[in-house]
Amino acid sequence: MNAHNELLRIMERISDSTATDAEIAQFNSWCDAFKDEQIKIDHLEEIKERVLLKIHSRIIKKPYVIPLFIKRVAAAAVATIVFSIWFYSSHRTPPNVNTPYANDVAAGKLGATLTLANGKKINLTVAASGNLANEPGVVISKNSKGEIIYTAAVSSNTKADAVNKLETSNGQQTQVQLPDGSIVYLNASSSLSYPVSFANKAERKVSLDGEGYFEIAKDKAHPFIVESKGQEVRVLGTHFDISAYRDEPVSKTTLLEGSIIVSTAEKQSTLTPGSQLTNDGRKIDIRQVDTEISVAWKNNLFLFEDEELGQIMGQVERWYDVEVTFSDNIAHERFGGGVSRFSNVSKLLKSLEATGKVHFRIAGRKIYVSK
Amino acid sequence: MSLSSLKTDHELIELLKQDSLPAFNEIYERYSGPMYKFAYSILRDEAACDDILQNVFTWLWENRTVLSITSLKAYLFAAVKFNMAGVIRRSKRRTEILANAPAINEAEEEDILELKELKNIIKSFTESLPGRAREIFELSRRDYLTNKEIALRLGISEKTVENQMNISLKKLKVHLGRMSFWCGLM
């Protein structure tokens, strides 16, 4: 017991910087005696990753901001696959007769505009498959499925600050493989800016406006960072979705697997799989969600559960490139259901109307919503 | 693209001094596991070990330009030890922790390097104090002299000793604050 008190006193003196050499040596030997213990720690890799994220968020200064803009281009019209349809409203009523629409709007499709570091713009909807452009150190091409593929060239003398920007207009959706192997799905009316090459960079930093689903390649030495409206997401390798449209009041960050840190001006939050962080610029909420619904768009589905009509119609505007006007105050009514994103807009609207809670009128590229 | 794992510790330290985050991450990848295991073998507390790992590496980054490190591994383990001293003395479980120690072994060569680094860390504060302040601080805290005794020995007024000690203690708080800011109570 006395020996313990003596040791405790030494520890105090060590903390106070006043311990003598002999005392330091005694404490040192005491610590070393534990080293032979065969200790097994479960999830050590997870612990290391979690702590490294915290360290990074403390030592890395606030990021620079890449200016973003959204270019709006009329979407080309293509109608394809029809999926099973089902829709319900929170107050179920008998479905009424299908309303025929005077005209219909076709779904959006795969496509995007790529702006190279030198300012050159490439329309990926019409560009032929194959090699698109050679940037120093990087080959950009489009495969037969319309995906943009990057390949890091062997000998590179990449300009350190060359940045590419991938943008989708209303009615477009795209997918890209970044030079580190990470895959990003970009929803309609969104843009992603990223360095042409991540080589020689401490961090893999990109900037998002709109919605993107990220499948980040694991690289512990190079954290992946997504900057979006009012927040920064920091990961080492994981799957997550960020919806951060400038004209939507709330940003949502949903984690599917792994671990991420979301930083806003006020605070840092660590998300666990299956949780969603909402950020309205003033406060942050974290709750458990059905992640299938959050990423349905990248699986080519409209899928809603207890979602406000206003939010649903926001997605309709972006994907079908239409303008939605509410004649009655029902934007906060909640609906749930699902339909293929490749159907004409009427499929979705009819399903919603079948609940008896809402009616639509299509006029050109305008949709009017009423009770 | 990723930093070669074949780099020596010395090369990593040199890169670290040039603000290389990849070098920092490589150091973390190399040593964080064993450091964590070591701290856990003594503290048996996951949250406290998290904090220590965080402190040591944050400290390493923030002081990368001024650190003089001969052995990286020894330095990091010594920093863990220094942090543990602070954690244990404040821990509610300190009696339990102290009772768990195995028998003390003969020091091996690696441990001697760690002892050297540990002394460096502990003394870095007193060594940063200017001459007279350091003398007063050491007489007070190391030799347990009273302010009156120090005043007599150095031929200065008791008030001067008191003022000087207050200044030094404030500095110490700042200094230690940097090394152990995240260590909470267990």
**pLDDT computed for residue B128 by the predictor:** 77
Question: What is the model's pTM?
Answer: 0.52
Helix (H, G, I), strand (E, B) or coil at A38: coil
**B175 neighbourhood in chain A, CB within 8 Å:** 17
**pLDDT computed for residue A241 by the predictor:** 94
CB A29 within 8 A of CB B104: yes
Q: What is the mean pLDDT of each run of 10 residues along chain A (371 residues)?
A: 82 85 90 84 87 80 30 23 35 42 75 79 66 61 66 52 86 83 90 86 91 89 90 88 89 90 87 90 88 84 82 90 90 82 85 84 90 87
Choose, out of B31, B122, B169, the residue to mutate when testing the contact with A (most A CBs < 10 Å).
B122
**pLDDT computed for residue A50 by the predictor:** 84
**B52 neighbourhood in chain A, CB within 8 Å:** none
A29 close contact with B: CB closer than 8 A: yes
B133 close contact with A: CB closer than 8 A: no
A21 close contact with B: CB closer than 8 A: yes
Please state the domain extents for chain A: 59-73+123-289, 77-108+291-371
Angstrom distance (rounded) from CA A107 to CA A82: 11
Domain A59-73+123-289 has CATH 2.40.50.140: no
Of the candidates A182, A113, A110, the residue with the CA atom closest to the CA atom of residue A146: A110
What topology is assigned to A77-108+291-371 in CATH?
Answer: Phage tail protein beta-alpha-beta fold (3.55.50)
**pLDDT computed for residue A59 by the predictor:** 77
**pLDDT computed for residue A144 by the predictor:** 66
**pLDDT computed for residue A290 by the predictor:** 82
Percentage, residues of chain B above pLDDT 70 = 87
Angstrom distance (rounded) from CA B113 to CA B91: 28
Q: At B112, list the tokens.
A: 């001697």
Whether ipTM tops 0.90, in short, is no
**pLDDT computed for residue A158 by the predictor:** 54
pLDDT digits (tens, 9 = 90+) for A93-130: 333 434 456 678 887 777 778 887 778 777 776 665 55
Please name the residue of chain A whose CA is at the shortest distance from the CA of residue B103. A33
Q: CA dihedral defined by A240, A244, A249, A255, rounded to 10 degrees? A: 10
Angstrom distance (rounded) from CA A211 to CA A102: 32
A101 close contact with B: CB closer than 8 A: no
**A51 neighbourhood in chain B, CB within 8 Å:** 32, 36, 50, 53-54, 57
pLDDT digits (tens, 9 = 90+) for B60-97: 988 888 777 888 999 999 999 999 998 998 888 888 88
> How many CA atoms are closer than 13 Å to the CA of A21, on its beta-carbon side?
2
**B88 neighbourhood in chain A, CB within 8 Å:** 8, 11
Q: At A257, list the tokens.
A: 């697997």
Please state the domain extents for chain B: 1-123, 129-179
Please name the residue of chain A whose CA is at the shortest distance from the CA of residue B31. A48
Angstrom distance (rounded) from CA B100 to CA B102: 6
Cβ-Cβ contacts under 8 Å for B14 (sequence gap 6 or more) = none
Q: Which of residues 50-109 of B touch A (CB under 8 A)?
A: 50, 53-54, 57-58, 61-62, 81-82, 84-86, 88-89, 94-95, 98-99, 101-105, 107-108
| Residues A39, B41: C-beta atoms closer than 8 Å | yes
Output the CATH code of domain B129-179: 1.10.10
Read off the pLDDT of each residue in B118-132 and give the average, rounded to a whole number.
Answer: 81
B28 close contact with A: CB closer than 8 A: yes
